[in-house]
């Protein structure tokens, strides 16, 4: 079968393409936004990418078009599919039908931490000898691909609450029917499709409804917006993780910088109930991600001590505090953070890593929610840990930046275009500084442009 993936460079859709290839299908794809790491992965996998939305991409009439949720009516490719009566479906529906039906699905949901936790979980199942399949919205360091079919019974899926397609406005995750469900956290996001937090909670309630009675739901007891979801109905076994005294899987912290350990449920181990957490990824939020992954792996039969030891070999996903280079004594770091909570957690984790060294935070408010100004009051406080801050605020971001500028208190600047931002950034870059660049897009290639200009100023690039 010839399957064409419309929107193939999206982190989810690239994984769908990989799985379709593994199932023996001929796969092609098209996209308007082609940039690493997914474009590099697809090229290495030999999956051809056609640029843009020209209906001519369908000239050889594929047997099926899998349409990404970034495409809507009026898109030339979508209109061509409909006019020609080419069979089409959404990525989540294709995945559920072709891959997940016979598997024990471990789904990781929540506003933040899905990619890291899913990557950790797949790694722990692999370390436990279970050879899992997975689809993750990134390139996990331990595997080098965003998806694989796997050999065993288990399949790990990053369970996104965003909608499925222009013709299916349900959240992606309602298609997956997990046996093991992790709910990491729950906040307001995706303001382009959800009017308020209550609407998002309803989608999570629908997800909870799909977990079988023999399944298990693992949820973050530190998050205030999860209990109202579970109060609407809970038909499965549940366990709590977090810092609370009565959490089943409890994070313990001691000292400064924090030494972290995990107290595990009594029923899961004979002997000590406390395990030292390896520093698999920095920060409290990543420690909670790790605990969620250990708890989920335990439901699949991986003993907590085996999982905890395997964490020491975990390599995080691309674009999660990823060092992309160094020039002139300045370290350049790439991160996907694009919500105030994630931004604050990421900067706190970086501070743990670098100590008192200067941190320069560079942010592109690129997500639909950020561009709409939904987080305009919380964005500034989320950047407090950084010594200096630069934000790209191009024309068209129609929201009042007064609260943001007040929170920065002279520590930063708002730049109207990328060239001005680069100039301002270079003025601030001194040896020993760590520049963290945060965006859910390619940010105009700023990482390499900055490295090139730092090198030209003096100092080798590494």
Percent of the chain with pLDDT over 90: 63
| Structure tokens, 232 | 């609407």
65 and 145 in a common domain: no
Tokens linked to 77 = 């490719």
208-231 per-position pLDDT tens digit: 999 999 999 999 999 999 999 999
Q: Are 180 and 299 in contact (CB under 8 A)?
A: yes
State whether 122 and 212 are in the same domain: yes
Q: pLDDT per residue over 99-120, tens digit each?
A: 999 999 999 999 988 999 999 9
What are phi and psi for residue 275, nearest 5 degrees?
A: -120, 140
Where does the pLDDT of residue 170 fall: very low under 50, low under 70, confident under 90, or very high at 90 and above? very high
pLDDT of residue 399: 76
Identify the pLDDT of residue 37. Answer: 77
Q: pTM for the full model?
A: 0.84
| Predicted pLDDT at 317 | 79
Are 81 and 107 contained in the same domain? no
**Do β-strands 359-363 and 434-438 pair in parallel, antiparallel, or remain unpaired?**
parallel
On whether both 178 and 275 belong to a single domain, the answer is yes
Instruction: Give the model's confidence band at 349: pLDDT under 50 very low, under 70 low, under 90 confident, else very high.
Output: confident
Query: Which CATH number belongs to the domain containing residue 447 in this structure?
Result: 3.90.190.20
Mean pLDDT to the nearest integer, 157-179 = 96
Alpha-carbon distance of 268 to 304, in angstroms, equals 8
Over range 151-171, report the average pLDDT.
95
- Using the Cα atoms of residue 235, residue 239, residue 244 and residue 246 in order, give the sign of their dihedral: positive
Question: Of 168-172, 340-344, 370-374, 431-435, which gets the smallest average pLDDT?
Answer: 370-374
- What integer pLDDT is reported at residue 267 of this predicted model? 65
Does 331 share its domain with 416?
A: yes
Per-residue pLDDT tens over the stretch 405-438: 888 888 888 888 889 999 989 999 999 999 999 8
Q: What average pLDDT score do residues 385-406 get?
A: 82
Same domain, 145 and 252: yes
Range of the domain at 18: 2-91
Average pLDDT over residues 18-45: 89
* Structural domains of the chain, count: 3
Domain boundary pick from 247, 279, 311: 311
Per-residue pLDDT, averaged over 234-245, amounts to 96
DSSP-based three-state secondary structure for 408: helix
Contact 210, 237 (CB under 8 A): no
462 is a domain residue: no
Mean pLDDT of the chain: 90
| Same domain, yes or no: 223 and 365 | no
What pLDDT was estimated at residue 368?
67
Is residue 397 within 8 A of residue 419, CB to CB? The reply is no
319 pLDDT more than 90: no
């Amino acid at each position: 079968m010839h399957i064409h993936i419309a929107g193939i460079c999206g982190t989810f859709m690239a994984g769908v393409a990989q799985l379709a290839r593994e199932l023996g299908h001929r796969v092609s794809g098209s996209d308007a936004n082609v940039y690493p790491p997914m474009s590099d992965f697809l090229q290495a996998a030999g999956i051809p990418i056609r640029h843009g939305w020209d209906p001519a991409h369908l000239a050889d009439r594929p047997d099926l078009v899998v349409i990404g949720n970034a495409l809507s009516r009026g898109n030339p490719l979508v209109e061509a599919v409909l006019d020609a009566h080419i069979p089409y479906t959404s990525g989540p529906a294709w995945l559920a039908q072709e891959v997940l039906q016979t598997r024990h699905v471990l789904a990781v949901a929540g506003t933040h931490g899905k990619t890291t936790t899913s990557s950790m979980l797949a790694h722990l199942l692999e370390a436990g000898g279970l050879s899992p399949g997975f689809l993750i919205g990134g390139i996990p360091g331990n595997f080098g691909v965003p998806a694989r079919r796997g050999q065993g019974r288990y399949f790990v899926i990053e369970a996104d609450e965003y909608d499925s397609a222009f013709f299916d406005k349900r959240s992606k995750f309602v298609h997956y029917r997990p046996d093991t469900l992790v709910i990491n956290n729950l906040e307001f996001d995706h303001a382009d499709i959800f009017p308020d937090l209550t609407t998002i909670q309803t989608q999570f309630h629908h997800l909870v409804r799909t977990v079988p009675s023999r399944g298990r739901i693992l949820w973050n007891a530190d998050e205030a917006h999860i209990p109202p979801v579970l109060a609407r109905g809970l038909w499965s076994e549940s366990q709590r993780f977090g810092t609370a005294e009565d959490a089943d899987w409890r994070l313990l912290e001691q000292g400064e910088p924090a030494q972290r350990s995990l107290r595990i449920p009594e029923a899961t181990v004979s002997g000590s109930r406390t395990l030292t957490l390896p520093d698999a990824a920095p920060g409290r939020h990543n420690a909670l991600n790790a605990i969620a992954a250990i708890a989920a792996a335990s439901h699949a039969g991986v003993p907590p001590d085996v999982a905890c030891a395997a964490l020491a070999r975990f390599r995080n996903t691309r674009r999660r505090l990823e060092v992309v280079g160094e020039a002139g004594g300045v370290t350049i770091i790439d991160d996907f953070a694009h919500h105030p909570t994630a931004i604050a957690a990421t900067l706190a984790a970086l501070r743990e890593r670098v100590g008192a060294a200067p941190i320069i935070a560079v942010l592109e408010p690129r997500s639909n929610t950020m561009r709409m100004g939904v987080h305009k009051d919380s964005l500034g406080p989320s950047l407090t840990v950084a010594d200096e801050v630069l934000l790209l605020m191009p024309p068209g971001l129609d929201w009042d930046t007064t609260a943001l500028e007040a929170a920065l208190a002279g520590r930063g600047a708002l730049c109207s275009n990328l060239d001005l931002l680069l100039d301002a950034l270079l003025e601030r870059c001194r040896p020993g500084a760590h520049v963290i660049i945060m965006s859910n897009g390619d940010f105009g290639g700023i990482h390499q442009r900055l490295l090139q200009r730092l090198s030209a100023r003096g100092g080798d690039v590494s």
